[in-house]
Structure 1
Amino acid sequence: MSLRVVDRLGAADVITLLNAIVGVVAMIGAVLGRPMLVAQLLLLAAAADAVDGIIARLYGGTKVGPYLDSMADIVSFGTATGLFVFAVARDQWDNLTDTPELLVAAVGAASIFVVFSLVRTALYTVHVDEGENRPGIQNTLGATILAAAYLSGLVSVPLLLGATTVLSVLMVAPVPYPKLTARDAIVMGTVQMGAILFPNLFNGILPRVLLVAAMAYMILGPWLYWGE
């Protein structure tokens, strides 16, 4: 019996695998203490995640696609994002490893994000049908908010750890979120690419626009966004 990899994977799956690769590179960047690079890579992974969804909707997906997407999300928007949070704390708090309270706070917030991302992804994959609005914020959205905030210059570690904890809980909140339309996903992806390539342009205007848009969707999306 053959896995028939070439026959069973589609174009959207290839983009999903690229998302996972970017997530792994982001994790390496976090280990090396490069939070700025990691933030940019997280946004790149989020853009890839949007692209694979658009391709799957336009040209059809594969049976394995949803599982690959879930696993790639855990890599990029779970583990890599948690490591990003810890990397920022380590970069900003020089005495992090020497202060048990600070270390516990940083490790705790990072771990909570990873765990809730894992739980949310697993429950969504098993219990939410394709046509349904998704309960809880997407882990992609949580990662985008954290990365865009950092690139916008909001580097207060207590604020970051608090935001990480709140976003973690919101991932499993019983609030339905509609999918972005293909048009809006393209617009968001364009802004994301701008924030990645030119994070410091005009005092960081692009990451700030991305942050405002992501926050607006998180706060207003369940009630005011029409979705697909």
Structure 2
Amino acid sequence: MLPRFVGRLGVADAVTIANAALGFVAVVVATVDVDLAARLVLLAAIADGLDGILARRYGGTDAGPYLDSLADVASFAVAPAVLSFVIVRNSLEVTFDAVTAELLVVTGVCALFVAMAVTRLGMYTAYDISGSYTEGVQTTLAATVLGAAILAGETRPWLILAVTGAFCFLMVSRIRYPDLLARDAGIMGVVHALAILVPDFAGRTFPYALLTLGLAYMTLSPWFYWGDRERSSEVDVHGNA
């Protein structure tokens, strides 16, 4: 007897489910090879973008938005938090032999990251899934910035912990982030793929480029994104957004 969901899932849903699996593999690999785990998180981010493209091309399903948020919990909430925890633990030689202040701080910040990411994903699915912008830093962007920083060699423990802690607020903030135009998303996607495929090329150029693009979008786009002007022009010409 076939499972009851066979035939109800679309091609986009399959990619979404693969995204969740990548998140789990990244968690497992993190204790052995942090760089490889970071590459898997970045690959999951590409899958997260690809499922949206496939849904628009072939049509989505009613389960799609829920599967997407569930997969993102694995890949962009739990996996980045584990990466941060492993880096800080290894750098500071924090052990589980005793409950220390350092262990409590590291565990608390990473746990809070997961909690805020889950909160954002749930709120996004319920209230924020349409429109040309979203409130709060996307969990995908937070994971991308952390992954790119690791591949770029920026693994100073307290810096990674501070960035992780900052995202705890930014993911649930009221700051509005505009959706990327297709060409901008394409450019970032190419850099994203190169950071995964050849992270060590020319002094880690592509991870640094991805990190720069991610930080630029995060810090500048709420106020200076040119896409807003182009969308305004489209409204003037076509009469709707």
Q: Indicate yes or no: 2:15 matched with 1:15.
A: yes
Equivalence for 2:26: 26
Moved more, 211-220 or 186-195: 186-195
Q: Secondary structure at the match of 1:201?
A: coil
Report the residue type matching 1:126 in the other structure. Answer: A
Residue number in structure 2 paired with 1:91: 90
Matches within 5 A, 1:162-201: 162-201=162-201
SS of match in other structure, 1:55 = helix
Matched, 1:218 2:205: no
For 1:1-228, what aligned pairs fall within 5 Å after superposition? 4-30=4-30, 32-97=31-96, 100-225=100-225, 226=227
The 8 Å contact of residues 94 and 103 in structure 2, kept in 1 or not, is answered as: no
Could you tell me how far apart the structure 1 residues matched to 2:133 and 2:124 are?
10
Deviates more, 1:54-63 or 1:121-130: 54-63
Q: Distance in 2 between matches of 1:161 and 1:23?
A: 20
In the alignment, structure 2 segments of 5+ residues that lack a partner are 232-241
Contact 2:135 2:177 in 1 (8 A): yes
Specify the SS of the correspondent of 2:7: helix
Shift of 1:174: 0.4
Say whether the 8 Å CA contact 1:89–1:96 is kept in structure 2: no
Structural RMSD (CA): 1.8
Contact 1:33 1:91 in 2 (8 A): no
Structure 1 residues 25 and 190, CA gap change in structure 2 (3 angstroms): same
Following the alignment from structure 2 to structure 1, what is the Cα–Cα distance between the partners of residues 54 and 178?
Answer: 18
Q: Gaps (5+ residues) in structure 1?
A: none
SS of 2:36's equivalent in the other structure is helix
Q: TM-score, normalized by length of structure 2? A: 0.88
- Aligned partner letter, 2:86: A
User: TM-score, normalization: structure 1?
Assistant: 0.92
CA distance in 1, matches of 2:194, 2:201: 9
Counterpart contact for 1:20–1:72, Cα < 8 Å: yes
Secondary structure of the 2:6 match is: helix
Query: What CA deviation, in whole Å up to 9, does each residue of 1:23-47 have, x standing for no partner?
Result: 01011112x3321111111100011
From the CA coordinates, give the structure whose radius of gyration is larger: 2
Q: Deviations over 1:162-194 (max 9, x none)?
A: 110101210011012122233322322221111
Separation in 2, partners of 1:68, 1:195: 27
- Cα distance between partner residues in 2 of 1:123 and 1:80: 20
Runs of 4+ with >4 A deviation = none
1:182-224 Cα offsets, whole Å, 9 max, x none, are: 3322322221111111111111110000000000110111222
- 2:106 maps to a residue whose letter is A
**1:175 and 1:135 mapped to 2: Cα distance?**
5
Paired residues, what number?
Answer: 226
Q: State which drifts further: 124-133 or 168-177.
A: 124-133
Q: Deviations over 1:46-76 (max 9, x none)?
A: 1110111122223321111000000000010
Amino acid at match of 2:65: P
> Once the 2 structures are TM-superposed, how far is the Cα of residue 8 of structure 1 from its aligned partner?
1.7
Aligned-pair identity in percent equals 42
